[in-house]
Amino acid sequence: MTDLWRLSAADLAARIASKQVSAREAATSALARLDAVNPRINAVIDHRPDDVLRQADRVDAAIAKGESVGPLAGVPITVKVNVDQAGFATTNGLKLQRDTIATVNNPVVDNLLKAGAVILGRTNTPAVSYRWFTSNLIHGTTRNPRDPGITPGGSSGGAGSATAAGIGHIGHGTDIAGSVRYPAYACGIHGLRPTVGRIPAFNTALPERPIGPQISAVSGPLARTIADIRLALAAMAARDVRDVWWMPVPLEGPPLPRRVALCVNPDGLNPVPEVMAAVVDAAGRLERAGWIVEEIKDTPPLQEAALLQTRLWLGDGYEAQLALAEKEGDPGALACLRGNRAKVFPFDLSQTLTRRATLTRDWLLFLEKYPVVLMPVSGELPFADQLDRKDEASFTRVWHAQLTQIAIPFFGLPALTVSTGLVDRIPVGVQLVSQRFREDLCLAAGEAIEAGGTPPSPIDPVG
């Protein structure tokens, strides 16, 4: 029982459904793992053991009655602290929201529960989920279990750190500029940013989001295997009419050629040699699995898309966001907003959305020829922790390296981080991008890359 936390979500769900182990045993194992390692990484910032065991007991009772329990039967998972979970504070890393207690669940939380999952705890995020580093003034700093000197990523850094360390089998995250894909990359696991409209989400406890986040922010899973990403996506994507952008699109699309465009240096990213080597290695894995890989010099524009996505994300209501950050006093949030002021202010929504249509069309036409694109997640290996706050040059360096993460959400496209190895003990991986609602293509290519080897996980925290 003590090693149940090591299993994949798919394996554990099958054992629970077949009564080889109970959901309570799985929950007890997960809670013990949390107690053992969370003090060293501060990934989970709120959890209630009695409630976790009650959830597990309900799963066991349903199984005993022969009732359907869902594909995640009894699997302990974590949810990010920026989504509503009834009875818990939706802090989004803010002291100012410590009393914002949700009365109903976000649709993504409801969907996980309907699939039989047991919510183990809530994971940390930077203030307002602004950064690729995870620290704030209410919950503290989250550490990377592979190396405490590097960032666990952000904004879903708690989810990445927890999942890599074996606290829960799947982590829920959100992504508007890499916040699922980068923690997966930094922590040496996998993470899927689905198409806008695939996974329903809505926070009743918070004001309606501006149009930028509505058309580019998504919820998505982080996990230690691609099979678990696939399982989590199916569970999270169930219908919920509270999300006005949700679309009833099948999870599997029509067959397409297994053709991949390999782009090592998209739109002037200029990645470091270790990143380029990882992308080339992943291309070789795909070729050995029977995929047609064609190297291209460049993709459609990303630099402009990244600038406009930053504008959509931070520019709409910029002064109000800055006032909130100043009131909170969070240095990371202030660095993000002040460092990007020249990019986003003044804000012209009509002009930004008009240009979005043109650039998105370019990408959609490109993806008609190449159903999958293989590229870097980041221009660098995972950063030293808090690098963006070191000085102006470091801030600029961080934002440039994250080009592909920022740009892809501007088009509403799905993208998958696949962890492929370690450079010493620093994780490295690659990013797969595909057509809208073709997460299945990303996952199929991801499985071929994963078969060539990934960093060991779960792991005991280092340092």
22, 29, 129, 155: the catalytic one is: 155
Among the listed residues 410, 452, 127, the one whose alpha carbon sits nearest the alpha carbon of residue 291: 452
Positions of E strands within 125-249? 135-136, 140-141, 170-175, 190-193, 218-223
Strand 292-295 with 415-423, pairing: unpaired
**Residue 222, token pair as written in the block:** 């982080």
User: Distance between CA 161 and CA 184 in Å, rounded?
Assistant: 9
Q: What is the mean pLDDT of residues 21-39?
A: 98
pLDDT at 345: 84
Q: Which two tokens stand for residue 342?
A: 């020249």
Q: What share of the chain is helix, strand, coil (3-state, %, to 5)?
A: 45, 15, 40
Q: What average pLDDT does the segment 38-51 reach?
A: 98
pLDDT at 354: 98
Query: What is the rounded distance in angstroms from the CA atom of residue 374 to the CA atom of residue 361?
Result: 19
Please tell me which residue in 29, 80, 135, 419 is annotated as part of the active site: 80
* 188-227 per-position pLDDT tens digit: 999 999 999 999 999 999 999 999 999 999 999 999 999 9
**Active site annotation includes 327:** no
Check if the beta carbon of residue 304 is closer than 8 Å to that of residue 411. no
Dihedral sign computed on CA atoms, order 214, 207, 235, 77: positive
Tokens linked to 165: 């360390």
Distance of alpha carbon 134 from alpha carbon 180, whole angstroms: 12
- Select which of 29, 135, 179, 378 is catalytic: 179
Nearest to 80 by CA among 213, 220, 181, 212: 220
Give the model confidence (pLDDT) of 352-397 as tens digits: 999 999 999 999 999 999 999 999 999 999 999 999 999 999 999 9
Residue 124, number of CB atoms within 10 A of its CB: 31
Q: Is the model's pLDDT at 1 over the cut of 60?
A: no
Contacts of 408 (CB under 8 A, 6+ apart): 193, 415, 433
pLDDT exceeds 80 at position 253: yes
Closest of 257, 243, 218, 234 to residue 369, by C-alpha: 257
Query: Residue 342 in 3-state DSSP?
Result: helix
pLDDT at 2: 60
Upper half-sphere CA count for residue 3 (Cβ side, 13 Å)? 1
Per-residue pLDDT reduced to its tens digit, 399-449: 999 999 999 999 999 999 999 999 999 999 999 999 999 999 999 999 999
**Cα–Cα distance for residue pair 377/379, rounded to 1 Å:** 7
Nearby residues of 62 by Cβ (< 8 Å), 6 or more positions away: 68, 69
CA distance 200 to 255: 26
SS3 1: coil
Residues facing 80 on adjacent strands: 123
Residue 319: closest CA among 300, 338, 303, 305: 338
Q: In terms of DSSP H, where are the helices of 311-371?
A: 318-328, 331-339, 341-344, 349-369
Domains in the chain: ranges and CATH: 4-450 (3.90.1300.10)
Distance from C-alpha of 167 to C-alpha of 92, rounded to nearest angstrom: 20
Cα(347)–Cα(352) distance, rounded to whole angstroms?
A: 9
Distance, in Å, from the CA atom of 20 to the CA atom of 433, rounded to the nearest integer, reads 38
Q: Residue 298 corresponds to which tokens in the numbers above?
A: 């460049």
The tokens for 55 are: 């959830």
Is residue 80 part of the annotated active site? The answer reads: yes
Tokens of 294: 């064609």
First-residue to last-residue Cα distance in the chain: 27
DSSP code for 209: P
Cis peptide before 155 (omega within 30 of 0): yes
Structure tokens at 234: 């199916």
Active site residue 179: yes
Residue 463 has what pLDDT?
83
| Helices 226-236 and 107-114: angle between axes, nearest 10 degrees | 110
Cβ proximity of 220 and 174 under 8 Å: yes
What angle (nearest 5°) sits at the alpha carbon of residue 189, between those of residues 152 and 296? 100
* DSSP character at residue 346: S
Tokens of 253: 């699309």
Instruction: Express each pLDDT in 147-176 by its tens digit.
Output: 999 999 999 999 999 999 999 999 999 999
Instruction: Quote the CA–CA distance of 398 and 384 in Å, as a whole number.
Output: 10
The first and second tokens of residue 158, run together, are: 């708690």
* Mean pLDDT of all residues in 129-139: 98
**Per-residue pLDDT tens digits for 255-302:** 999 999 999 999 999 999 999 999 999 999 999 999 999 999 999 999
Here the tokens at position 77 are 């998972």
Instruction: List, as own/partner pairs, every contact residues 360-368 make where C-beta atoms lie below 8 angstroms and the sequence separation is at least 24, other chains included.
Output: 360/410, 360/411, 360/412, 362/300, 362/301, 363/299, 363/300, 363/411, 363/413, 364/411, 364/435, 364/436, 366/261, 366/299, 366/300, 367/413, 367/433, 367/434, 367/435, 368/435
